[in-house]
A and B are shown apart, each in its own frame.
Chain A
Amino acid sequence: MSLSSARSITQSVGAPRAVYLDYPLGQTAGRAGDLAEQCAVLEAACGAFEALVEPGSVLDLPMRWAADDAWKERVMRPEPASKGPQSPDPLAGDQRTPRRDTPQYQSPLDEQAADPNCPSCIFLAE
C-alpha cells in the first residue's frame, strides 16, 4: 500500500494499492501535529487494503489542505523573471537545495552523537 501526495507519480509507477492525500509535499501521513488525522489516514489505508481489488487503484482521501485550493496554482511554478521585494513563495520555483554527498545532519548534536559503526545503518554498493 502506498500513501501518496503526488497522484500522477504514484499512478505512473503503478503502485498496486494507493491512498492519496491532496496536500503539499512533506506531510504524506497527515498534517504535522494532528494525530487524529494521521490515524484517519492510516485507518483509510487499512480499509483500502480490505476493499481495493483492482491493481493500481487509488483511494482519494477527503481531507483538504486549506479552504481554498489556490495553493495548488503556485506549487513548483517557474518564478517570474522580475522578483520584487516580496518574500519568496515557499511553494513556487525549484524547491531543491544543493545536493551534498556527505551526511547532512539536522543539527550538529546529531553529528556528534552519530555512531560511525551504526549497526542499523545499511550502506549498499552500487
Chain B
Amino acid sequence: MNSRPPVDYIARTKTLYSSLGHAPYDWVDNPGKTPWSPLKKPLSESTLGVIASGGIYRHGQVAFHHKDDLSYRKISTQTPVDQLRITHFAYDVTAARQDPNAVLPLNALNRLVTSRRIKRLADNALTFMGGIYSSRKVGEVLAPAMVAELKKAEVDLAILIPV
C-alpha cells in the first residue's frame, strides 16, 4: 500500500526553486497568531460565504492575468457549472476545466442548502487567482476587500477553497 505523509510543498518548492537558481520564497508563517471566532448559531440557520483561489471566472467576465492579479470576481452561486472557466499558471488545470466543481464546488454547495444542512449560500462566490507572489499585497489589498464583501453579504460562515 506504500502509505506516505502529505507532500510538504514548502520543503519541495524550497528544494526545487533553489535547484533552478531562485532565491527561497518567503512563505507566510504566522505562529501563534491564529484568529478564532466561535460559531454563533447552528449551521442549519447559517449563511455560508465562499471564496476560491483557483482562478475561476465566468464566461462573460474578464479573465485573470498571471502576474500578481489583485482582482476578484463575483460569481452567482446559481451559475451553471458549464459557464465556469479556469485560468492559472501554477497548477495543472486539466481536471478543474473538465469539472470546475473540483475547485469551486457549486453543485455540492447547493446540495447543502437543499438538504438543509445550511440555511443559505451567499448570492455570490468570490473568486481570485491565488498565484500572487506578494503576500503583502494579498494581506493589505485583496483579502480585506473580499472580507468586506462577505460582511456586506452578512454571511455567518465562510469557506475558503485554495489550490
Cβ of A69 and Cβ of B2 under 8 Å apart?
yes
Given A78-B16, A118-B61, A16:B37 Cβ within 8 A: yes
Cβ of A3 and Cβ of B60 under 8 Å apart?
no
| Residues of chain B with a CB closer than 8 A to A24's CB | 92
B86 within 8 A of A: yes
Cβ of B31 and Cβ of A14 under 8 Å apart?
yes
**Nearest CB of chain A from residue B57's CB, rounded to whole Å:** 8
Among residues of A, the one whose C-beta sits closest to the C-beta of B27 is: A12
Q: Please pick, from A12, A15, A104, the residue contacting B87 in the complex, using a CB distance under 8 A.
A: A104
Given A3-B160, A101-B67, A121:B99 Cβ within 8 A: no
Q: Please pick, from A15, A26, A35, A110, the residue contacting B85 in the complex, using a CB distance under 8 A.
A: A110
| Residues of chain A with a CB closer than 8 A to B85's CB | 105-107, 110
Cβ of A41 and Cβ of B63 under 8 Å apart?
no
B23 within 8 A of A: no
Among residues of B, the one whose C-beta sits closest to the C-beta of A35 is: B107
Given A16-B34, A26-B92, A120-B75, A115:B66 Cβ within 8 A: no
Q: Please pick, from A8, A14, A55, A126, the residue contacting B10 in the complex, using a CB distance under 8 A.
A: A8
Q: Please pick, from A1, A6, A103, A113, the residue contacting B60 in the complex, using a CB distance under 8 A.
A: A113
| Residues of chain A with a CB closer than 8 A to B104's CB | 29
Contact with A along B1-22 (1 / 0, CB 8 A): 1111011111111011101100
Interface residue ranges, A against B (CB under 8 Å): 1-10, 12-16, 20, 22, 24-33, 35, 38-39, 41-43, 45-46, 49-50, 55-56, 67-70, 72-73, 75-78, 90, 93-107, 109-111, 113-116, 118, 120-126
